Amino acid sequence: MTILDWTGTALEILAVIFVVAVGAFMLSLVAMYFIDTTQAGDAIRRNYPVIGRFRHLFSGLGEFFRQYFFAMDREEMPFNRAQRDWIYRASHDKSNTVAFGSTRNLSIPGTPIFVNAAFPPLEDQFAKTAPLEIGPHCRHPYVAPSIFNISGMSYGAISKPAVRALARGAKDAGIWMNTGEGGVSPFHLESGCDLVYQIGTAKYGVRDKAGNLDDDKLRRIAEHPEIKMFEIKLSQGAKPGKGGILPAEKINKEIREIRGLRPGEDGISPNRHREVDDFGDLLDFIARMREVTGKPTGFKAVIGSADPWEEFFQLIQERGPESAPDFITIDGGEGGTGAAPMPLIDLVGLPIREALPRIVDLRDMHGLHDRIRIIAAGKLVNPGDLAWALCAGADFVASARGFMFSLGCIQALKCNKNTCPTGITTHDPHLQKGLVVEDKYKKVAAYARSMTSELETIAHSVGVTEPRQMRRRHVRIVQADGSSIPFNKLFPSYNSPTPS
């Protein structure tokens, strides 16, 4: 057979393939036309068969195109490109300097503007931020070395390699890691990092068969030297008034055993602790846990209004400072989660920018500044957020989504679907391969160090030698007319160690 014969045969085969492909395409169009005109669930497809299908396609792709092609650096929600890019560069130990001026609109109401000092301290005048003790009345107080730490993300909400990378990064950076409400896993413990054991309303890992707190299990958990504190989760920023939600498709055998769930069962937490009906019960519950574990015990809550909490602090005064929680974690209504009802995410709970200073003021007004440590959480991912929180009166800041970005999160918004493309919130082994622990833990540590370093830069700029010396007078808040007023005029401080 000659080359011409081979060529002719190949062309004939290609022609047949083309005809078959065109025929299949036409048949599929006819089938889609018939399906669309006879179905009753979608008016667009019924009135505009075949063409109407493109609406759903473009709606699905819109999220992708907006993120990469159309949205400006400061426009996206929940985190814009400028915020994410800063974290990506910080986690890669790259320079975060920029040229030609800021892209941030400084006239937006609520924007913090830090007040630079006329004569800031020189480098040889800088002070080292000392570790801060939590739980002075406990058998085992915790001397926390870092201002910036990892907030609660449970094994289940995030993947095994994500837990491992975060834990190793926390150990490397010298910060604590909160376990989230899913209990402690071997992957939390293997790095030896400091851990805060969070106890949600389902009490995973420390509950009996009826779902109540089991003191013996709690005591055994507390024997782990890595676990430094216990946090009672009353509520969470993205879903105040509703407990945790872990869909069954994200629960493997390992997670099921740690949490004590049955096969095929969703991980649903009650909307509150059954033992806690009022503030007195809350203080009793804290005292019980602190006595059993011997370690600092506090709680995490979203604030709907500061008014009811006046009663809480008054009750502490009546009982004495030893009855107080060792710390309070304030989560803002803008806090994140893997799954929550949209009305709760959008509409319930005070933002951290209002909740934090109000609770700090109540604490200080009742003379508990040195007794109760305040941890701020809720969308605080960049150095300016951290500096603002310290000015407001927080002792520590904890971030979850910031550290997710350091792991490589691209804000795909697939956390609840087990299809996370970066392997962070999925238990699909194929997708988890993308998250290489040996590489990612270094990025976690680098992000934590960069946050602290840039926080110190802001502190020195406003004229103090170390970050915990910052006060509300060091920041101004932009108002609706574009002007700014001092933060301490919006929220005057009470009984602060130094003037606000």
pLDDT digits (tens, 9 = 90+) for 104-148: 778 889 999 999 999 999 988 898 899 999 999 999 999 999 999
Last residue of a domain, one of 34, 53, 70: 70
Tell me, yes or no, whether 374 and 472 share the same domain.
yes
What confidence score (pLDDT) does residue 77 get? Answer: 61
Range of the domain at 56: 3-70
Tell me, yes or no, whether 409 and 266 share the same domain.
yes
Residue 414 has, within 13 A of its CA and on its CB side, a CA count of: 19
Q: What are the structure tokens assigned to 147, written together?
A: 């201002």
Last residue of a domain, one of 54, 70, 86: 70
Taking 70 as the threshold, does the pLDDT of residue 62 lie above it?
A: no
Taking 50 as the threshold, does the pLDDT of residue 496 lie above it?
A: no
Q: If you write DSSP's letter for every residue of 105-120 in order, what string do you get?
A: -TTSTT-EEE---SSP
CA-based nearest residue to 422, from 441, 404, 401:
404
- The angle subtended at Cα 66 by Cα 60 and Cα 71, nearest 5°, is 165
Three-class SS state of 397: strand
User: Do the domain assignments include residue 416?
Assistant: yes
What confidence score (pLDDT) does residue 297 get? Answer: 98
Rounded Cα–Cα distance for residues 220 and 198 (Å): 15
Average pLDDT on 228-257 reads 79
Rounded Cα–Cα distance for residues 19 and 24 (Å): 9
Rounded Cα–Cα distance for residues 451 and 453 (Å): 6
Rounded Cα–Cα distance for residues 353 and 188 (Å): 31
> Checking DSSP bridges between strand 132-134 and strand 142-144, what pairing results, if any?
antiparallel
Among 49-58, 358-367, 368-377, 451-460, the least confident range: 49-58
What confidence score (pLDDT) does residue 120 get? Answer: 93
User: Do the domain assignments include residue 466?
Assistant: yes
CA-based nearest residue to 405, from 188, 91, 169:
91
User: Do the domain assignments include residue 99?
Assistant: no
Tell me, yes or no, whether 298 and 194 share the same domain.
yes
The 10s digit of each residue's pLDDT in 218-240 is 999 999 999 999 999 998 766 66
User: Do the domain assignments include residue 115?
Assistant: no
Tell me, yes or no, whether 310 and 394 share the same domain.
yes
Q: CB count, 10 Å around CB of 20?
A: 10
User: Do the domain assignments include residue 108?
Assistant: no
> How confident is the prediction for the chain on average, in pLDDT?
86
Q: Which residues pair with 246 in a beta bridge?
A: 267
Tell me, yes or no, whether 59 and 128 share the same domain.
no
- How far, in Å, are 142, 150, 393 from residue 369 at the CA level? 17, 23, 9
The total of structural domains in the chain comes to 2
Tell me, yes or no, whether 47 and 146 share the same domain.
no
What confidence score (pLDDT) does residue 389 get? Answer: 96
Three-class SS state of 184: coil
Tell me, yes or no, whether 229 and 374 share the same domain.
yes
Residue indicated by tokens 């959480």: 377
Tell me, yes or no, whether 220 and 151 share the same domain.
yes
What band does 499 get if pLDDT is binned at 50, 70 and 90?
Answer: very low
What confidence score (pLDDT) does residue 339 get? Answer: 59
Residue indicated by tokens 């934590």: 448
User: Do the domain assignments include residue 500?
Assistant: no
More confident residue, 238 or 41: 41
Domain containing residue 455: CATH number: 3.20.20.70
The 10s digit of each residue's pLDDT in 163-210 is 999 999 999 999 999 999 989 999 999 999 999 999 999 999 998 888
Q: Which amino acid is at 8?
A: G
Tell me, yes or no, whether 66 and 133 share the same domain.
no
Three-class SS state of 288: helix
Percent helix, strand, coil in the chain, to 5, is 45, 15, 45
- State how far Cα 477 lies from the chain centre: 24
What band does 311 get if pLDDT is binned at 50, 70 and 90?
Answer: very high
Rounded Cα–Cα distance for residues 218 and 212 (Å): 11
Tell me, yes or no, whether 291 and 172 share the same domain.
yes
What confidence score (pLDDT) does residue 41 get? Answer: 75
Sequence-separated (6 or more) residues with CB below 8 Å from residue 455: 147, 148, 383, 386, 387, 390, 467
What confidence score (pLDDT) does residue 203 get? Answer: 92
Q: CB count, 10 Å around CB of 84?
A: 21
Rounded Cα–Cα distance for residues 493 and 471 (Å): 9
E-strand ranges in 401-466 read: none
H helix or E strand, kind and range, residue 18: helix 3-38
Angle between helices 437-461 and 81-91 (to 10 degrees): 110
Tell me, yes or no, whether 400 and 484 share the same domain.
yes
Tell me, yes or no, whether 63 and 193 share the same domain.
no
Q: Are 45 and 32 spatial neighbours (Cβ–Cβ below 8 Å)?
A: no
User: Do the domain assignments include residue 337?
Assistant: yes
Helix residue ranges, H only, 67-109:
81-91
Backbone angles phi, psi at 299, to 5 degrees: -145, 160
User: Do the domain assignments include residue 79?
Assistant: no
Rounded Cα–Cα distance for residues 131 and 152 (Å): 21
